[in-house]
Amino acid sequence: MKRYVLESYGCQLNMAEANALDILLRGAGLERTDDAHQADAVIINTCSVRKSAENRIWGRLSYYHHIKKADHPIRIVVTGCMAERMKDDLRNQAPFVDAVIGTNEKMDIVEYLVDDRIGREDHYRFMSSYYNEGDFSSYVPIMNGCNNFCSYCIVPYVRGREVSRPLDEIIAEVEFLSSRGVKEITLLGQNVNSYSWNGYDFPKLLYQVCRHLGDIEFVRFDSPHPKDFSPELIETIAGEERVCSHIHLPMQSGNTRILQLMNRKTTRERFFSLVDSMRSTIDGLTFATDVMVGFPGETHEEYEDTLSAMEYLSPIEAFMYYYNLREGTPAAKMEGQIPEDEKTARLERLIEEQLARSARMKSSRVGMVCRALVTGVTRDDKQALLARNAHNEMISFRPSSKVVIGDVVTLRTVSLKGNTYLGQEA
């Protein structure tokens, strides 16, 4: 076993785990390649959040099966959430797959490829580092799993119960990332602000992380749950200069009855109260959110509540989608499933309103001065660089001084083109 292809789909945690797996594979003497015809193994790290993600994996499996059947006997490994949820289906419908390895056993893929052994871990294991060599931004997983059981979500069934990473391991990785020149970290978890380890909750963890940042300038976290957004966490964000004041706050619905059917453990009024508290405490606050329409039984009036709640929250970015039925979740058995064409129409209006809202908000921010991490060269102008600020906004600028990718610069936005600001060094 010498070369491998590694494909990863889905959430940020999946991408971080793929980075960690890549480190282990290269440490075992294997070499990564993008050419399956030159590889000895193909590893597909899967996602199960939506049916469309699983459909894509079936397509990739068909592609690799064709290569394997035609002229190149590669070993095919399927891991991640789809492997956890659909072990039997994968084995029965894709017998050409050599190994189906769930989320807890993911890091044992090295042993399987090297000496044909697969571990049987019954608990999730954190790796010492998820760093991708050369990156200036890095994910830092701090917890895994979810105890919330939102009625539409498959995650608790494929990721298991919540488990938190020891504080000393997190601090050690943050210090290591700083030593490698990383300038931006994102603390990750399916329910990141429910972190709990040995007396440390998420606000205390965040405070400790900020004491060990070194040259790291931006700290983000994803994905929180509104029910775990405590006053202490809000105060910690407000008091730590390097914690970005751009918060991903998943709303899902703006109607209390639908939120209860979703088992979101909040109400419209409590969500609004949380938003008010954050706005009154955190300077320069902006929001991102997740919102779903077309949940089973959602009436037109309840849909309108979601539209008005989006106006109240006024996020500058939003992930918007309509309800997808996931087998094995309570929502899949609920009455009042909404037809696809109606869900599509509701989503299209939601997107149209949010795009207009985002454009207005971004236009109002022209003229701001901000710090930003240089991430690359622009596609259309090779003399211009792209940088991302604390609010996850992209700024294109032509440097007037010697600036390289990975630097943090102070910029002033002078205009807006699409979703990208045009700026200059301040």
Kindly state the tokens that stand for 188: 């990750």
Cα 192 from chain centroid?
A: 11
Bridge partners, 374 (sequence order): 387
| Full set of structural domains in the chain with CATH | 3-115 (3.40.50.12160), 126-244 (3.30.750.210), 248-364 (3.30.750.200), 369-425 (2.40.50.140)
Q: Cβ(323)–Cβ(295) under 8 Å?
A: yes
Core vs surface per residue 362-384: b (16+ CB within 10 A) or e: beebeebebebbbbeeeeeeeeb
> What phi and psi, each to the nearest 5 degrees, are found at residue 31?
-120, 130
User: What number of other Cβ atoms are within 10 A of residue 63's Cβ?
Assistant: 12
- Per-residue model confidence (pLDDT) at position 121: 56
This prediction has a pTM of 0.88
The burial class, CB within 10 Å (0-12 / 13-18 / 19+), for 340 is exposed
- Per-residue model confidence (pLDDT) at position 71: 72
Which residues does the chain have with pLDDT short of 70? Answer: 1, 116-122
Among 133, 139, 145, which residue's Cα sits nearest to residue 170?
A: 139
Kindly state the tokens that stand for 211: 């004491």
> How far is it, in rounded angstroms, from Cα 346 to Cα 303?
8
Among 187, 189, 125, 129, which residue's Cα sits nearest to residue 156?
A: 189
